[in-house]
Amino acid sequence: MKVLGIDLGGTNVALGIVNEKGEIMLKKSIETHVQDGFESVVERISSASLKLISSTGSVDRIGIGSPGSIGHLSGLVRFSPNFPGWIDVPLGPEIERRVGVKVSLENDANAFVMGEKWFGKGKGYTDIIGITLGTGVGGGVISNGRLLRGSTGIGAELGHIVVEPNGYLCGCGNHGCLETVASATGISRLAKEWKGRYPQNTLDGFSAKNVMNAARNKDALGLKVLERVSTVLGIAIGNLIHIFNPQIIVIGGGVSQAGDVLLSAVKKRTRENVMRSFWGTYEIVLSDLVDDAGIYGAASMGFEEIKS
């Protein structure tokens, strides 16, 4: 069995043909060119898909991971913040029609956790929380083996768990969401805000990557930001452990590439928040799918739907 996974991003679209063993047999990246409009984006994705497929024979399904609010049954993108004008656009059906292969469309954070179940650290588990720390914070939940979608398909917005009541204003309109602190954007902001207190800091710019590198090198500003980030992640993950009683929490997204300096701080903070009866029931790990997590996630939605 082979599935073409398509990871739709605001800047690039990654496509890859994945087999059941989790090997990416062929992959390709094209620019999204959102500004050219829905029809044009669909056309170019379809054409790239057809080329990839023709090089490997055939695929059994296409899985697409897309940001925003998704109708997974209808294949509609209902709304997606970085895709202006994409209101209820039939992304699934249009690609299905052009490429001639059945399409499974899913929100990219939901696809992420499914990718972890099929090909990553979640393999063999039934209760998995996925958290992606990128420009924003995304979330996906597999509970009792099934993806949590919610009654209207917009659940698992884990980035909007409140971790700092009266905290920073979030893009969603609330204050103190996890995303305001634990995203790359939030990390970068914290470093800029605190830099005046740490004039000796060794930061080479204020990107999340630089901040985490500094923390790894025991720079005081880096450590200060890490403390705040791991505190809020510990609150959110602690909440999720009490709610879902998961076997594993997988952290992905660009920020997760900070590696052990982040992971060990998050583990420590989470443990402080979790009641005794949950000790030993969960693991917290970093995703190792890294750059291909988007392709794996998208493809896994195809495998999951073929299977069920």
Residues that bind a second copy (CB under 8 A): 69, 79, 125-127, 141, 143-144, 146, 148-158, 160-165, 172-174, 231, 235, 238-240, 242-247, 272-278, 281
| Closest separation in Å from C-beta 150 to a second copy | 2
| Closest separation in Å from C-beta 57 to a second copy | 36
Q: How far is the C-alpha of 285 from the C-alpha of 308, rounded, in Å?
A: 27
Q: State the amino acid at position 112 in one-letter form.
A: F
Secondary structure (3-state) at 213: helix
Q: How far is the C-alpha of 275 from the C-alpha of 301, rounded, in Å?
A: 34
Nearer CB in complex with a second copy: 198/244:
244
Q: What are phi and psi of 143, to 5 degrees?
A: -125, 125
Q: How far is the C-alpha of 253 from the C-alpha of 256, rounded, in Å?
A: 6
Nearer CB in complex with a second copy: 15/225:
225
Nearer CB in complex with a second copy: 185/239:
239
| Closest separation in Å from C-beta 44 to a second copy | 28
Nearer CB in complex with a second copy: 14/237:
237
| Closest separation in Å from C-beta 120 to a second copy | 18
Nearer CB in complex with a second copy: 19/247:
247
Yes or no: say if 2 and 17 are a contact pair by the CB < 8 Å rule: yes
Q: How far is the C-alpha of 138 from the C-alpha of 190, rounded, in Å?
A: 20
| Closest separation in Å from C-beta 275 to a second copy | 4
Secondary structure (3-state) at 74: coil
